């Protein structure tokens, strides 16, 4: 049996993406020969650029607010407040995913309007142009609790299985793998970051060797990776939750005291 293996390579020479650009053409113009089952991991930033999702940098905080559904946590340092929020896509991300790096001076970039739709459109275009059944993941770089540094994760998916549901399958010892659901899409995004790099300007990588993960464009997108806040144990930052609990507890104690003590105002009113 040959060893399971993948290769991951970056596409070079794509140049700067402009609003209105056709990403299918830009990708194929690099000369890449796509094969059945290839998965293209595309930095979401270039999709945002092609979609013209620019906002003037002076309005950055306003843009973050507009993309925010709910504040999860914030930290103020050096006079600047960093907000971790749940954005309109349900993703929890610093600055709502609004991006100020690798953008022209004076401008910031919003995430693609609908990353899953963008990924499916791109996958459909590449399939039509090449005849190869390929998948597309849009990636973004996110920090995470408890661990230093950032990793690339999937924020859009077209024609790629996002999560492998191994529940019910058995391990080598014959025991059921009860809770194992590897997020393959995030692992594909992470693998691709190892060849794309942040500063190198190679925004597209191809993962070759897992054609079993590629399927119809009707597969769930990366929105299926987002856990709804009501099912999350960390839906609010610790400091924010301590504050909210304190206020609620303080008010509840005053209400309880008030309900049990002789009420001065009522007594006065009664005289």
Tell whether residue 9 is a contact of a copy of itself (CB under 8 A).
Answer: yes
Among 17, 92, 111, 126, binds a copy of itself (CB under 8 A): 92
Task: Name the minimum Å distance from CB 22 to a copy of itself.
Answer: 21
Among 19, 52, 81, 250, binds a copy of itself (CB under 8 A): 250
Task: Name the minimum Å distance from CB 91 to a copy of itself.
Answer: 8
Tell whether residue 242 is a contact of a copy of itself (CB under 8 A).
Answer: yes
Task: Report the 10 Å Cβ neighbour count for 178.
Answer: 9
* Span near a copy of itself by CB under 8 A; candidates 19-27, 63-71, 130-138, 175-183: 175-183
- Specify the 3-state DSSP secondary structure of 65: helix
| Alpha carbons 247 and 210: distance in angstroms, whole number | 52
Kindly calculate the radius of gyration of the chain based on its CA atoms and give it in whole angstroms.
24
Among 157, 210, 214, 219, binds a copy of itself (CB under 8 A): 210
Tell whether residue 25 is a contact of a copy of itself (CB under 8 A).
Answer: no
Q: How many whole angstroms from its chain centre is CA 238?
A: 22
Contacts of 93 (CB under 8 A, 6+ apart): 84, 85, 87, 140, 142
The smaller minimum CB distance to a copy of itself, of residues 29 and 243, is found at 243
Phi then psi dihedrals of residue 131, to 5 deg: 75, 0
145-174 residues near a copy of itself, rule: CB under 8 A: 145-153, 162-164, 166, 169-173
- What does the per-residue mask of binding to a copy of itself show for 100-119, with x meaning CB under 8 A? xxxxxx--------------
HSE-CB for 248 with a 13 A CA cutoff: 6
């Amino acid at each position: 049996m040959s060893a399971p293996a993948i290769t991951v390579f970056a596409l070079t020479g794509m140049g700067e993406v402009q609003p209105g650009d056709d990403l299918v053409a830009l990708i194929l113009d690099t000369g890449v020969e796509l094969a059945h089952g290839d998965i293209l991991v595309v930095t979401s930033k270039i999709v945002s650029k092609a979609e013209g999702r620019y906002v003037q940098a002076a309005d950055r905080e306003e843009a973050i607010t507009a993309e925010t559904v709910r504040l999860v946590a914030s930290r103020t340092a050096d006079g600047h407040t960093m907000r971790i929020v749940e954005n309109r896509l349900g993703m929890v991300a610093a600055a709502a995913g609004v991006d100020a790096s690798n953008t022209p001076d004076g401008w910031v970039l919003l995430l693609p309007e609908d990353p899953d739709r963008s990924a499916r459109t791109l996958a459909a275009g590449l399939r039509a142009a090449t005849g190869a059944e390929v998948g597309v993941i849009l990636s973004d770089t996110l920090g995470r609790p408890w661990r230093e540094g950032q990793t690339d994760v999937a924020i859009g998916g077209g024609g790629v299985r996002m999560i492998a549901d191994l529940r019910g399958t058995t391990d080598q010892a014959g025991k059921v793998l009860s809770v194992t659901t590897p997020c393959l899409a995030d692992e594909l995004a992470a693998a691709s970051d190892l060849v794309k790099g942040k500063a190198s300007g190679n925004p597209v990588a191809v993962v070759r060797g897992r054609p079993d993960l590629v399927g119809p464009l009707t597969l769930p997108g990366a929105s299926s990776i987002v856990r709804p806040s009501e099912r999350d144990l960390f839906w609010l930052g610790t400091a924010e939750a301590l504050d909210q609990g304190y206020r609620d507890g303080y008010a509840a104690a005053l209400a309880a005291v008030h309900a049990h003590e002789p009420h001065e105002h009522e007594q006065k009113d009664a005289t």
